[in-house]
Amino acid sequence: MTSSVRRAVPLVALVLGSPLAARADGPTATQILAMVDKAQGDFEDLTTESKMVVREPGQSTGREYQFVTISKGNTKRLVRFLAPGDVKGMGMLIEGRDTMYAFLPGFQRVRRLGTHVKNQTFMGSDTSSDEMGAFAMVDVYDAKLLGEEGQNWMLELTPKPGKDVEFPRRKLWVDKTVHQMTRVEDYDAKGANARTTVRSDYRKDEGPGEHYTPFKMTIVDHRRNDHATDILMLSAKVNQKVPDDVFSQRSLVRGN
């Protein structure tokens, strides 16, 4: 990380006998979660090109996908697949957690996705369609500060009343420098660790602004015998003045 990266407010330790003990005068859990939302969406627009590798248990290689994602803050997102050939041209338009559209080039039509698909896997990977959506976590979760570990805050998240989420409990590790997640553990209703996500290799995006993107993300689904997905960023460009009409069903069909 460079010296230009934002620095967290210094914290004064209380001697509580545990390296994970919560601090007395630092930011609250809700404030930290708001920092994450701000850091993740701290741009007018963000365009990334990614390679996703979906691996069966025990395999080092797997099926590869390549796609471009264009985001507008924490509000809208457009995903367009470039490869392999059987999904090339397919796209998704996300207008929020509950409003998503898919373009199927073979049928030349846009279909709205029902809420029942939110927790289904995305292209056979270990991430769900719901997680492809853009939303502020502070609006969905209540947060509790568990303590600190190294350069990370540790949070526990539980859904706010009336919020429909895949996992009833999440643990987040939040880097104090870039204010973004480095590790996420998702727990099922029985308290078992169902899935683990690790985000690493944060780099400052190309273009004006101070947004950082994790250039490697690994998701392991323990419910699927440690089925795994790697998402590798090939490029990340921020604040390129992407016009608003890109985030439309017409643009989804046009392919630009």
pLDDT tens digits for range 78-135? 999 999 999 999 999 988 777 888 898 888 889 887 655 555 666 778 876 556 655 7
Q: Which of 185, 189, 126 is nearest to 155 (CA)?
A: 185
Question: How many secondary structure helices (H) and strands (E) does the chain include?
Answer: 3, 13
Q: What are phi and psi of 10, to 5 degrees?
A: -55, 145
Domain ranges of the chain: 29-251
Average pLDDT over all residues of the chain: 85
Q: Output the pLDDT for position 11.
A: 40
Supply the pTM of this predicted model.
0.81
Q: Does residue 74 carry a pLDDT above 50?
A: yes
CATH of 29-251, one of 3.40.630.30, 2.130.10.10, 2.50.20.10, 3.40.718.10: 2.50.20.10
Residue 136 pLDDT class (50, 70, 90 cuts) = confident
Could you tell me the sign of the dihedral formed by the alpha carbons of 200, 203, 205, 208, in that order?
Answer: positive
- Give the DSSP H/E element, type plus range, for residue 254: helix 249-254
Average pLDDT over residues 5-16: 38
Residue 7 pLDDT class (50, 70, 90 cuts) = very low
Higher pLDDT, 15 or 70: 70
